[in-house]
């Protein structure tokens, strides 16, 4: 059986990916250092089911410093999700942490991968934030123009992947995810903050006029895209991974009101630096080369996320 490594396995997307891999009968080694971008207990909760599975092996290690040679020995697939995420939080004095966790860690992994003859594929988690804003559905050949420090680091790491592919034949594909939502979404992200606050009868912060829009992508569709990118014959490719729903923040809030069955009190705040006005994925390339097809619409996804947050709020009481 192929050895699989998932970096960032305690996070929102990484833990969901590990669960799918185990359900599909793979053995998985997961690595995470519980970075403090949000509560350790939340990440431990993400790992709960995984830690009970005999075919899951967890390493609490920091990819900035851990020796990678023994971890990568015999590995066939690496899903590289570990990073410091978040567009708006990437301003300020902590930029070194973004450089270290997003660029240096990726470079270390790629360098170590050169010495792994068993390696079949690395799938790198890139981001729509490498584009900056978009006026309509955007294809992968658009010139990148990140407008946040986070976007700069995600683009650098993606370009490192391309360099290691072109110079050393490291078989890597990069997936540019577009605003991912669903159960376990990071607490700094819009749906999580808004659903939690509506359920707690607190006002929700809206940055700007709420007319900004996103190509919202359900987490299970992102997980499927990872599997397709790993097990396809494509190498050295970059794919947009978008969802079924392109909506404004205002439209999202109306859906949250429906699925929480509560009215939202709104607190309008200034627009945030680094936030693109609109994002919109053209996913023709992923459809054609990977047979990627998102299946979760926004209503189903929000309903599942509301259900999860309600359950966690009641168990936290
Ligand atoms: P997350 O913060 O929930 O998960 C990332 C995990 O990586 C965390 O558990 C963290 O502890 C771990 N990590 C960070 N640095 C590490 C290090 N040096 N060593 C070991 N572990 C480390 O974030 P997420 O939302 O699940 O994002 C996963 C990936 O997807 C990231 O690369 C992010 O940039 C990318 N991405 C996310 C979205 C989104 O909408 N959530 C969109 C585009 C791209
Ligand atoms: C998300 C992730 O957080 C990034 O890690 C990722 O790289 C990026 O998607 C991506 O697609 O590449 P973002 O689009 O900002 O970034 O996602 P949310 O935090 O869910 O915000 C969505 C929109 O809601 C933004 O326009 C934001 O300004 C708005 N928002 C967010 C609010 O109005 N209020 C809030 O409390 C939170």
Q: Which is the closest atom of ligand 2 to the Cα of 178?
A: 11
Residue whose CB lies within 8 A of the most ligand 1 atoms, among 6, 9, 13, 20, for a mutation test: 13
Question: How many residues appear in the chain?
Answer: 317
Pairing of β 266-269 and β 204-207: parallel
Cα dihedral 100, 106, 108, 111 sign: negative
Average pLDDT rounded to a whole number, residues 59-65: 98
- The Cα-based distances of 88 to 26, 146, 172, 299 in angstroms read 36, 13, 28, 26
Average pLDDT rounded to a whole number, residues 130-143: 96
* Nearest residue by C-alpha to atom 37 in ligand 2: 190
Distance 263 CA to ligand 1 centre (A): 32
pLDDT of residue 235: 98
Q: Would you call 38 a catalytic residue per the annotation?
A: no
Quick: pLDDT tens for 147-167: 999 999 999 999 999 999 999
pLDDT of residue 169: 98
* Nearest residue by C-alpha to atom 30 in ligand 2: 190
Average pLDDT rounded to a whole number, residues 221-249: 98
* Nearest residue by C-alpha to atom 16 in ligand 2: 179
Distance 274 CA to ligand 2 centre (A): 10
pLDDT of residue 250: 98
Q: Which is the closest atom of ligand 2 to the Cα of 269?
A: 33
* Contact of 130 with 176, CB cutoff 8 Å: yes
100/313 Cα distance (integer angstroms) = 34
pLDDT of residue 118: 98
Residue whose CB lies within 8 A of the most ligand 1 atoms, among 71, 80, 85, 122, for a mutation test: 85
Q: Which is the closest atom of ligand 1 to the Cα of 86?
A: 34
Tell me the pLDDT band of 1, cut-offs 50, 70 and 90: confident
Tell me the pLDDT band of 192, cut-offs 50, 70 and 90: very high
Active-site residue (options: 98, 124, 150, 164): 150
Query: Does pLDDT of 10 surpass 90?
Result: yes
Q: Helix, strand, coil % (nearest 5) of the chain?
A: 40, 20, 40
Query: Does pLDDT of 317 surpass 80?
Result: no
5/27 Cα distance (integer angstroms) = 9
* Nearest residue by C-alpha to atom 21 in ligand 1: 32
254 phi/psi in degrees, rounded to 5: -60, -40
Candidates 3.40.50.1980, 3.40.50.300, 3.40.190.10, 3.40.50.720; CATH matching 3-316? 3.40.50.720
Quick: pLDDT tens for 264-313: 999 999 999 999 999 999 999 999 999 999 999 999 999 999 999 999 99
Tell me the pLDDT band of 113, cut-offs 50, 70 and 90: very high
Residue whose CB lies within 8 A of the most ligand 1 atoms, among 7, 9, 12, 107, for a mutation test: 12
Across all residues in the chain, what is the average pLDDT?
Answer: 97
Distance 190 CA to ligand 2 centre (A): 6
pLDDT of residue 315: 83
Query: Does pLDDT of 236 surpass 90?
Result: yes
Query: Does pLDDT of 184 surpass 90?
Result: yes
* Nearest residue by C-alpha to atom 25 in ligand 1: 12
The two tokens of residue 205 are 């912060």
315/226 Cα distance (integer angstroms) = 32
> For 289, left (φ over 0), alpha (ψ -120 to 50), or beta?
alpha
> What residue segments make up the domains of the chain, in order of their start?
3-316
């Amino acid at each position: 059986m192929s050895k699989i490594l998932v970096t960032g396995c305690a996070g929102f997307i990484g833990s969901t990916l590990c669960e799918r891999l185990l359900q599909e009968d793979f053995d998985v080694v997961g690595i995470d250092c519980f970075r403090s971008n949000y509560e350790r207990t939340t990440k431990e909760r993400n790992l709960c089911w995984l830690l009970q599975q005999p075919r899951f092996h967890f390493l609490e290690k920091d990819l900035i410093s851990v020796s990678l040679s023994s971890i990568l020995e015999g590995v066939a697939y690496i899903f590289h999700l570990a990073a410091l995420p978040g567009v708006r939080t990437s301003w300020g004095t902590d930029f070194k942490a973004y450089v270290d966790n997003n660029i240096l860690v990726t470079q270390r992994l790629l360098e170590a991968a050169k010495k792994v003859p068993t390696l079949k594929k690395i799938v790198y988690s890139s981001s729509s934030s490498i584009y900056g804003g978009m006026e309509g559905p955007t294809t992968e050949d658009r010139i990148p123009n990140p407008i946040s420090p986070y976007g700069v680091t995600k683009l650098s790491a993606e370009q490192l992947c391309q360099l290691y592919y072109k110079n050393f034949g490291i078989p890597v594909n990069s997936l540019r995810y577009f605003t991912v939502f669903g159960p376990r979404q990071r607490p700094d992200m819009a749906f999580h903050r808004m659903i939690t606050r509506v359920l707690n009868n607190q006002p929700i912060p809206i940055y700007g006029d709420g007319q900004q829009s996103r190509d919202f992508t359900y987490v299970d569709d992102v997980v499927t895209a990872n599997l397709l990118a790993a097990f396809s014959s494509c190498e050295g490719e970059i794919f947009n991974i978008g969802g079924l729903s392109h909506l404004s923040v205002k439209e999202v809030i109306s859906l949250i009101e429906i699925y929480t069955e509560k009215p939202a009190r709104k607190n309008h705040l200034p627009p945030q630096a680094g936030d693109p006005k609109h994002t919109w994925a053209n996913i023709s390339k992923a459809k054609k080369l990977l047979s990627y097809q998102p299946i979760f619409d926004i209503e189903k996804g929000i309903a599942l996320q509301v259900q999860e947050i309600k359950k966690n709020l009641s168990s936290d009481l």
